[in-house]
Structure 1
Amino acid sequence: MAPPVVRGTAAWRYFGDFRDALLAGQVLVLQVAHPIVAAGVRDHSDYREDPWTRLTRTVASLSIYVYGGTKGAQAEADRLRKLHRSFTGTADGRRYSALDPGAYAWVHATLVMAPVDAQRFFGRPMSASELDEYYAQMCGIGRILGVRERDLPPTWPEFERYYRETIAGFGPNETISTLFETIDTVRKPFSRMSDRRWSRLQKGYSSAQMFLIRATIPSELRARLGLQWTEQDARRFSRLCRATRMLATLVPPPLRTVLMRAIGKLNVWLRAHPWAYRFFVRS
């Protein structure tokens, strides 16, 4: 039985850490590198037309998994599985389903790894005991979400091997190319923001996002995707990592997750009060 996610445990401390946001692009690339996920996103996602709303909904959903309590996580899991049940289609002449067990497990696996990578890059790497507790907790959350026990390895060392071996089979695809194009041409997040102001900000946003993707995806996949990485890039990323670690030391550990915890609690309340959810969240 997975350890409960309560204050002070590994998943509670690390899953919603503000530094995890720096790996948002990495997670998206790794998810859509999977052929079935790529096909589902291509055919059923609106992220290209409305990326900011999609991002908001994704953050809301993630926050509930860990910080919404067991009932909140179960309700969100039921909602997601119902939503994805209709996401079917054809890719390379074969039928696919968004609920394909291997693809569904892989999406969860990328979310499991992201906080571990965030600490490795931008903080203090988790200890062996923290990794064991964290992985057990995230596997428990995976069960709630519908990831079958046999679709993820039972221990952290085996999970790391599974993760590397899965990525070794990935390469370029149309959805990754579309994702990069979307990052490069992303629309302004707020309609009231002037086009002139966004045109100045957009180039910096796109450049930073692509830099973080190139820096944090596994080097072998980076090479297969044709993304350049120079010694100068490595030095820039090293400086960013040091600066982020220093910044994090100024933030008390409980405050590092406060935003994600607040979002999780708010979304549990909103979904328990449908009238409020319809008022605050666009359908």
Structure 2
Amino acid sequence: MARPIVRGTAAWKYFGDFRDGLLAGQVLVLQVAHPVVAAGVRDHSDYKSDPWTRLMRTGASLSIYVYGGPAGARVEAERLRALHRTFTGSLDGRRYSALNPAAYAWVHATLVKVPVDAQQFFGRPLSDVELEEYYAQMCDVGRLLGVRERDLPPDWAAFERYYDDMVAGFAGNPAIEELFETIHTVPKPVRWLPGSWWRWHARTQMFLIRATLPPGLRDRLGLQWTLRDQRRFRRFTRVVRTLATPLPAGLRTAHMRWIGKLNVWLRAHPKVYERLVGGNGPGSAQGS
């Protein structure tokens, strides 16, 4: 067992850092690169028709594990496992389940990796001590979610080998193509956003995906990356690092900590959520 996730520990400082959001597109590509995850998205996800609600639900769920307290995390984990048991279908003539152990572990692995990559690109890389504490804490979260012990590499070095081996086996698939299309065609979340800004947002999302994907997978997906792109990305990372790194960790994670605590409260008051949002609360079967 790792140290509890409390103020000042590695998971508390890095899991909810706002710079992690710059890798949102990257992590989605890596998740749907797994064939079982891709099949589940194809058969059960509503992200293309209602991406903003889906994104808010996912962010709310993630925030609970680290910032919602142990009791909140246990309830959310039980809810997600129950929900994913209903996600089944056919893949290459065989039945699949969203709780397929390898696929389930891979989704957790991508979320474990995001904060480390975000600091590598846009902040200060975690020290060896921080990495070990962070990884041990996220393994505890994984066990809470139902990831099998044998699917969690024993330490960070083994995790990196596992992660690289998984990525090396991925290639393009229809779910990735649909994700790229959705980035360019998804409607604005609110009408008042200028169309030119929204088109710029889509281009920026694709640029960050190309910049942050593992280079081998980027090449296999046919995504071009030039020296000019690399220079632009270096300038971008320098600006983000300069502006964000001096901020205290409590400020960099404030939004996720607030969301986590709010959603624990909303789970206990689902009728309030329904009145505010007009949908099912975060504790419902549809609130993933």
Q: Which runs of 5+ in 2 are unaligned?
A: 281-288
The runs of 4+ residues in structure 1 deviating greater than 3 Å are none
What is aligned with 2:201?
A: 205
TM-superposition CA deviations, 1:206-253 (whole Å, max 9, x none): 100000000001000000000000000000000111000001134222
Q: Which runs of 5+ in 1 are unaligned?
A: none
Work out whether residues 186 and 202 of structure 1, in 8 Å CA contact, stay in contact via their aligned partners in 2: no
Quote the offset at 1:19 in angstroms.
0.4
Work out whether residues 23 and 114 of structure 1, in 8 Å CA contact, stay in contact via their aligned partners in 2: yes
* Residue number among 221, 225, 228 corresponding to 1:229 in the alignment: 225
Q: In structure 2, what is the Cα distance between the partners aligned to 1:43 and 1:157?
A: 35
SS class of match (2:253) = helix
What is aligned with 2:48?
A: 48
What is aligned with 1:140?
A: 140
Name the Cα RMSD after superposition.
Answer: 0.9
1:1-283 to 2 correspondences below 5 Å = 1-190=1-190, 193-194=191-192, 197-281=193-277, 282-283=279-280
TM-superposition CA deviations, 1:24-71 (whole Å, max 9, x none): 000100000000000000100000001111111111011001001111
Q: In structure 2, what is the Cα distance between the partners aligned to 1:116 and 1:252?
A: 17
Quote the offset at 1:2 in angstroms.
2.1
Q: In structure 2, what is the Cα distance between the partners aligned to 1:276 and 1:51?
A: 23
Q: In structure 2, what is the Cα distance between the partners aligned to 1:280 and 1:64?
A: 19
Quote the offset at 1:146 in angstroms.
0.7
TM-superposition CA deviations, 1:89-134 (whole Å, max 9, x none): 0011111000001100000000000000000000000000000000
Aligned residue identity for 1:41: V
Quote the offset at 1:277 in angstroms.
2.5
Q: In structure 2, what is the Cα distance between the partners aligned to 1:249 and 1:34?
A: 33
Aligned residue identity for 1:230: T
Aligned residue identity for 1:122: F
SS class of match (1:90) = strand
**TM-score, normalized by length of structure 2?**
0.95
Q: In structure 2, what is the Cα distance between the partners aligned to 1:241 and 1:15?
A: 19
SS class of match (2:90) = strand
